[in-house]
Structure 1
């Protein structure tokens, strides 16, 4: 392992175990077995180190989530069960790693993070599997945004409460509330709403091999426009 990787992993461990106060230039240098000037040479300053730690942690976490989603798809796991598993994992991660959650939750950091975008891609893949079943009554994007907003809110609320006073059913109740907003009731094909049909077709349109890439893109653009009009 090179020096940069070792320093980042040590800093991530200190953050996870002892909180932000432990992530000092001197403390990280000592724990990693390097001289303090090496930190400045590699990261510029403490903020640069923190940015590197955030991206490292997020990349590792997202890689694990992506592998789970691929396994679930290959094993034919029900899309709704897979979506729920992702929610539970996100809540558990946030509560188990509060310092990392606050660090990774910085909107400015998330907007510029490749790992954060990859994380949203993992959620999007889960949502698309649900959409393909014809159960979504909103666009995939809105469904994903609602899930993220609810998960972040649940974790923030629970972390703001002492462990012994937390409502153990809060996260589950929020998830159920989100499902009520994004899912249709199980119905027969002839009872599906026009919007849920469009959303389902949007989920599978990019995979239609009989169409050219340009044709698939055109179909997706038309459907996105139609779905957005219905959601206004």
Structure 2
């Protein structure tokens, strides 16, 4: 849509959002200035502040709208089914979103926001946590849920940013297979082998850890025969079992093994 069409067919708020979105896609975060948005949208600077409070408020709304379809797709896959397959699909969706929307991705994941997190990225992380929780309940996880989710998320973000940079330099072909290889390496680190029965199976030194992680996740659904104090104590014991027999050296916390 041309600037003239935008100016004559949309309300000021929508024109501002479209202008900021286009500027972000074409020139990155630095291109989205008050002057540039005002000129592209055909409004005064005061109009931007009246609708969005400040430029950060405008950028937050651009990010929310740009992320909406991806988040909806991610939430749609947060259903019953093989949770390990869902982890793989979620990883691939995340990387594909970043490559299709590089400037928006950087805005969402690399903008310094001390003490804050965009609500939309927080919602996506909650989807990941729920899927990892189901992996644990299926007896396929050999680290804690939060530790596994952190490993998957941080690795996926690193791969995506690497590929975005390669894409910008027209060197994406040099990184063919990187995403799949890293994904499988991370999953191999946090997953226990699948058994024919679909539950926790003997996996060498990791057998007890897999059961401990699965039991702790199942306890989140509520164990009425235990008091809150008993559940907390049992949870602590299960964490110690998982730390002793999980990946890495005995007794080492999963988050310290990365």
Q: Normalising by structure 2, report the TM-score.
A: 0.73
Contact 1:137 1:182 in 2 (8 A): yes
1:64 Cα shift? 3.3
The structure that has the greater radius of gyration is: 2
CA RMSD of aligned residues (A): 3.0
Contact 1:14 1:23 in 2 (8 A): yes
1:63 to 51, 58, 72: 72
* Whole-angstrom distance in 2 between the partners of 1:7 and 1:225: 55
**2:104 corresponding residue in structure 1:** 100
1:104 Cα shift? 0.9
Contact 1:206 1:217 in 2 (8 A): no
* Whole-angstrom distance in 2 between the partners of 1:38 and 1:141: 43
1:99-150 deviation per Cα after TM superposition (whole angstroms, max 9, x unaligned): 1111111364385222222111010011111111101110111110110111
Structure 1 unaligned residues grouped into runs of 5+: none
**Taking structure 1 as reference, are residues 202 and 13 closer, same or farther at Cα in structure 2, changes over 3 Å only?**
farther
1:68 Cα shift? 2.5
Structure 2 unaligned residues grouped into runs of 5+: 1-9, 244-251, 254-258
Contact 1:135 1:186 in 2 (8 A): yes
Do residues 148 (structure 1) and 126 (structure 2) align?
no
Partner SS state of residue 25, structure 2: helix
**1:123 corresponding residue in structure 2:** 128
Do residues 211 (structure 1) and 215 (structure 2) align?
no
1:180 to 176, 185, 188: 188
Do residues 139 (structure 1) and 138 (structure 2) align?
no
Q: Normalising by structure 1, report the TM-score.
A: 0.80
* Whole-angstrom distance in 1 between the partners of 2:43 and 2:230: 55
1:88 to 87, 92, 97: 92
1:89 Cα shift? 0.2
What is the aligned residue count?
225
1:65 Cα shift? 1.4
**Taking structure 1 as reference, are residues 65 and 33 closer, same or farther at Cα in structure 2, changes over 3 Å only?**
farther
2:37 to 20, 28, 31: 28
* Whole-angstrom distance in 2 between the partners of 1:217 and 1:2: 57
